[in-house]
Amino acid sequence: MNTNLTTFADLYQFTMMYGYYKTGKMDEEVAFDLFFRKNPFHNGYTIAAGLETVIQYIQNLSFTDSDIDYLKSTGLFQDENFFDYLQNLSFTGDLYAMPEGTVVFPNEPLIKVRTRLFEAQFIETALLTQIGHQSLIATKANRMTRVANGKPILEFGARRAQGVESAVLGSRASIIGGCNSTSNVKAGKEYDLMISGTHAHSWIMSFDSELEAFQSYAEAFPDHLILLIDTFDTLKSGMPNAIKVFREVKKQHGELKTYGVRLDSGDLAYLSKKAREMLDEAGFQEAIIVASNDLDEYTIRELESQEAKIDAYGVGTKLITAYDQPALGCVYKLAAEKLNDKWIPKIKRSENPEKITNPGLKKVLRYIDEKNGEALVDLIMLEDEQIPNQPFEVFDPIHTWKRKKVKHCKWIELLQPIFIQGKLVYESPSINEIVENVQRNLSSFSKEHKRFSKPHIYHVDLSQNLWDMKMKLLAELD
Amino acid sequence: MNTNLTTFADLYQFTMMYGYYKTGKMDEEVAFDLFFRKNPFHNGYTIAAGLETVIQYIQNLSFTDSDIDYLKSTGLFQDENFFDYLQNLSFTGDLYAMPEGTVVFPNEPLIKVRTRLFEAQFIETALLTQIGHQSLIATKANRMTRVANGKPILEFGARRAQGVESAVLGSRASIIGGCNSTSNVKAGKEYDLMISGTHAHSWIMSFDSELEAFQSYAEAFPDHLILLIDTFDTLKSGMPNAIKVFREVKKQHGELKTYGVRLDSGDLAYLSKKAREMLDEAGFQEAIIVASNDLDEYTIRELESQEAKIDAYGVGTKLITAYDQPALGCVYKLAAEKLNDKWIPKIKRSENPEKITNPGLKKVLRYIDEKNGEALVDLIMLEDEQIPNQPFEVFDPIHTWKRKKVKHCKWIELLQPIFIQGKLVYESPSINEIVENVQRNLSSFSKEHKRFSKPHIYHVDLSQNLWDMKMKLLAELD
């Protein structure tokens, strides 16, 4: 997915660029924040993902001649010199971001952009689309893996995804979130993900009998033999035939490596228990049972609580589309503008208090208790603020009487430099490093914050300076 | 989005191909049907879309050396000769499809593939993903346009889509479904769609005042002047400032071309009525009012029933993600297999009667009453069956006592040849022709079938021959 995506922007980005060009504002330096306002799926946190494709997008930012011809053909832009500026567009500023796999909370900037208005405005659409989609899927995957008691989750939603790219990047995000493997070969190849898959019902149907189909599959894949057993009758036909084939392979090869059965319909709790009994009785204690069929985190949790004998879960539609909430709703808001070499903080007011933005150039610190390793609070501060000496007090930005003392904490700064003056200064981690980053991040949060439903709300506070600035700006607007 | 998508397949397509290669079945000729089982969104029908990208996919089907190297590196495929077959893979068979924009119903094949098993199995994933996604969005868009009383719907969901490609192809599908324009410039360029867009809140915020922001926008776009009026206060600030600027432009240019305001928050019914009054009083009867803010077909219908003074609707998240049902759930099932030059019909049984497939090579005829132009029934028949002489009786395939007489009807065959013996024989229509096809298709269906909720169920029946074959095969399975 390395294609040039430069024209991928809402038309209003172009009309605004033209407007900024016409009013001479295009070179003013500005700062934008990308954030979301609510964790998805009633989860207690969100897993940041999508930075890798954002980096690719920004590095490839460049209009082709055919793009320019197209824009000319719209007849919208009267002043032809505008196209010269477009032709020379590239990203020349600074971009800070939370690395992929960071546990992030509402209203925290996942990305901070600081560059001239012309560029900063233009990249909005692509950043929102990529970060929103991939963070959503990573978070959904993480919910599923969390309830599976360590059993592997296999992502195989490609056919139900909203298009090919959505499937490929969704696979990657699923792995980031904690899935074990994907069925998606393109994703496996492009992003170095573990792939898995065996056969479909059509395999069975294309042979004269289920037994013959199993035997033929075993001939091709004796060492990786997961048989789909529900084409005719799971317990009466599929299981006996599978056991027969396992015996044959064992006899022929002396041993069985990875082998087992997949259940894809019916009552998975009941069938898995019966299947386990039959496999154990036949001496196939190492055979694994994979279950699939429209699973989501709620069904997986139910199956686990009923002690279903399932060793791995295959998930499709519900994960790859984030079925119960298919959009995260990221926004990208102006935070500051540089005038006469001085940064002027900007605020967007709203009738909804939760939609009021945090002004100014900011950084985000996570304070982690040195004793128990638990994250205590995230503090959004002004970029040039001194890190406060401990102990100090933090307070809820809405209910300011809710106060908490920060002491004996180490802190980490969550926003990392990615581009500085247009130059990429960030070395992208491998997919395994990202997966480890998720685990490391999550290990700082208490069980209460990770609770499946109605989680304890993690504190994200504003520094006193930032809070004062915000209140002052709000007062001035009236 | 013309890239080579050949590796976009579930791993099990590869393992099955390898299995077919090992068992010598790879060259057996087979027929598969692609269909869905339920209309999305409780709608009475579905709009077929996605064929254009399927054609591109099939034409570009070819493994690169790097793909082959990757597949070798998995260690799954022991027999090296298999890779020679992969290297030579292309689509050599027949593919029939319902043209984009066709109104289609559950269990009707949208695509019928007839080729050797090796290829037919392999293309499953990509076909399902593309047809499923795009038909879903086209249908969602059609629902929205249907309740808007002819007012234009502007699609601007790019930033909330599940990735860039999902946004681009979703834009195209939205236009097929009946949207007027898209904000997505890449989609506009690639698929010749009408684009629209003006400015964001950040435009307003980057100026010292709302008035100055409006004036600057008017200088850049005097002929296309839709002002977003809710940044500070819609009626107290936005409207008076907009009217002031309309007056200035009229004075300066003598006339106003396309102009108006956009509401993006608050009570859209109330605000639109007040805005209309203020515009009319100021003499700007031609000013249009565009409304947006998380709209879907339910909210649009409510606004219309409350006689909101809205001239155009902007829709984002709810359309581009098909929010309330983000996957259509297409399936691809083996229908027949050729043995000794004879087609053997195949059936997939299931505990769920509605999941039992229709066997054999099929065609789909739509019977339209010649008098009133209304579609009476779709008849799924065997491919080599004679078209019956009228009058004849059709019957519900489940409740077979429900019978209906077909007389004085013309018929159309819904599946069109797209590839014959691997050669493209279909000329893709323009986007406008597809949009017209939707309208022509819909004009054959009664209001009851198009009802917004609880629509009358349209009859899709099986021919007597097909029904008999199905019953015989089911009996044989027991």
Cα of B18 to nearest chain A Cα, Å? 7
pLDDT at A3 (0 to 100): 73
Nearest-CA distance A417 → chain B (Å): 24
CB < 8 Å to A41, chain B = none
Q: Which residues of B touch A159 (CB under 8 A)?
A: 10, 124-125, 128-129, 132, 330
| ipTM value | 0.97
Inter-chain touch B158–A231, beta carbons under 8 Å: no
- Residues B158, B184 contacting (CB under 8 angstroms): yes
The end-to-end CA distance of chain B, in Å, is 47
For A349, which residue in chain B has the nearest alpha carbon? B232
Closest CB from A1, A183, A334 relative to B202: A334
| Closest by Cβ to B15, choosing from A28, A221, A350 | A221
**Test the B interface: residue of A5, A10, A17 with most B CBs within 10 Å:** A10
pLDDT at B168: 98
Distance from CA of B52 to the nearest CA of A (A): 13
Q: Which residues of A fall within a CB distance of 8 Å from B327?
A: 160, 162, 317, 321, 323
CB-closest option in A10, A18, A170 to B183: A10
Q: Choosing among B81, B165, B172, which should be mutated to test the A contact, i.e. which has the most A CBs within 10 A?
A: B165
What residues in A contact B321, CB-CB < 8 Å?
162, 321, 326-327
Q: Is the pLDDT of residue A1 over 60?
A: no
pLDDT band (50, 70, 90) for residue A2: very low
Half-sphere exposure of A110 (CA within 13 A, CB side): 31
CA closest to B157 among chain A residues: A10
Q: For the segment A401-426, what is each residue's pLDDT rounded down to a tens digit?
A: 999 999 999 999 999 999 999 999 99
Collect all residues of chain A within an 8 Å Cβ-Cβ radius of residue B19: 199, 203, 216-217, 220-221
Partners of A4 on chain B (C-beta within 8 Å) are none
Q: In the predicted model, is pLDDT for residue A14 greater than 50?
A: yes
Which residues lie closer than 8 Å to B353 by C-beta, 6 or more apart?
B398
Query: Which residue from B minimizes the CA distance to A123?
Result: B159
Closest to A461 (Cα-Cα) out of A386, A376, A383, A391: A376
Percentage of chain A beyond pLDDT 70 is 99
- List Cα–Cα distances, B124 to A205, A430, B105, B332, B419, in angstroms: 15, 31, 20, 7, 16
Average pLDDT of chain B?
96
> A327 and B321 in contact by Cβ < 8 A?
yes
Domain positions in chain B? 11-137+326-477, 198-293
B206·A170 Cβ contact <8 A? no
- Beta carbons of B160 and A206 less than 8 Å apart: no
Binary contact (B163, A169; C-beta < 8 A): yes
Query: What phi, psi does B474 have (nearest 5°)?
Result: -65, -40
- Among B10, B348, B477, select the one facing A201 at the smallest CB separation: B348
Task: Give the CATH H-level superfamily of domain A11-137+326-477.
Answer: nicotinate phosphoribosyltransferase (3.20.140.10)
| Tens of pLDDT, residue by residue, chain B (478 residues) | 447 899 999 999 999 999 999 999 999 999 999 999 999 999 999 999 999 999 999 999 999 999 999 999 999 999 999 999 999 999 999 999 999 999 999 999 999 999 999 999 999 999 999 999 999 999 999 999 999 999 999 999 999 999 999 999 999 999 999 999 999 999 999 999 999 998 999 999 999 999 999 999 999 999 999 999 998 899 999 999 999 999 999 999 999 999 999 999 999 999 999 999 999 999 999 999 999 999 999 999 999 999 999 999 999 999 999 999 999 999 999 999 999 999 999 998 777 778 889 999 999 999 999 999 999 999 999 999 999 999 999 999 989 999 999 999 999 999 999 999 999 999 999 999 999 999 999 999 999 999 988 999 999 999 999 999 999 999 987 6
Q: What distance in Å separates residue B345's CA from the closest CA in chain A?
A: 11
Q: How many CB atoms lie within 10 A of CB B293?
A: 15
pLDDT number for residue B478: 65
Among B308, B230, B315, B229, which residue's Cα sits nearest to residue B269? Answer: B308
Q: Across residues A191-216, what is the average pLDDT?
A: 94
- Answer whether B197 sits within 8 Å of A15, measured CB to CB: yes
Local structure of residue B70 (DSSP, 8 states): H
| pLDDT (tens digit per residue) in A136-175 | 999 999 999 999 999 999 999 999 999 999 999 999 999 9
pLDDT for residue A350 is more than 90: no
B205, B224, B477 ranked by CB distance to A346: nearest = B205
Given this model, what pLDDT does residue A431 score?
A: 98
Cβ <8 Å between B159 and A128: yes
Q: Could you report the per-residue pLDDT of B193-231, keeping only the tens digit for each?
A: 999 998 999 999 999 999 999 999 999 999 999 999 998
Over range A279-299, report the average pLDDT: 97
What is the predicted pLDDT for the residue at A459?
A: 94
Q: Cβ separation of B25 and A201 shorter than 8 Å?
A: no
Q: Which residues contact A166 (CB under 8 A, 6 or more apart)?
A: A133, A320, B133, B162, B163, B165, B166
- A427-436 per-position pLDDT tens digit: 999 999 999 9
| Cα-Cα end-to-end distance for chain A | 47
CB contact under 8 A, B265 and A327: no
User: Best interface-test mutation with A: which of B5, B7, B8, B10 has the largest number of A CBs within 10 A?
Assistant: B10
Contact call for A22 and B220, based on CB within 8 A = yes
Instruction: Select the residue of B10, B167, B351 nearest A156 (Cβ to Cβ).
Output: B10
Helix (H) or strand (E) holding B116: strand B111-116
- CATH 3.30.70.2740 matches B198-293: no
Half-sphere exposure of A366 (CA within 13 A, CB side): 20
Distance CA A57, CA A444 (A): 32
What local confidence, expressed as pLDDT, does residue A478 receive?
A: 65
Partner residue opposite B162 with nearest CB, options A7, A133, A158: A133
Q: Do A348 and B231 touch (CB under 8 A)?
A: yes
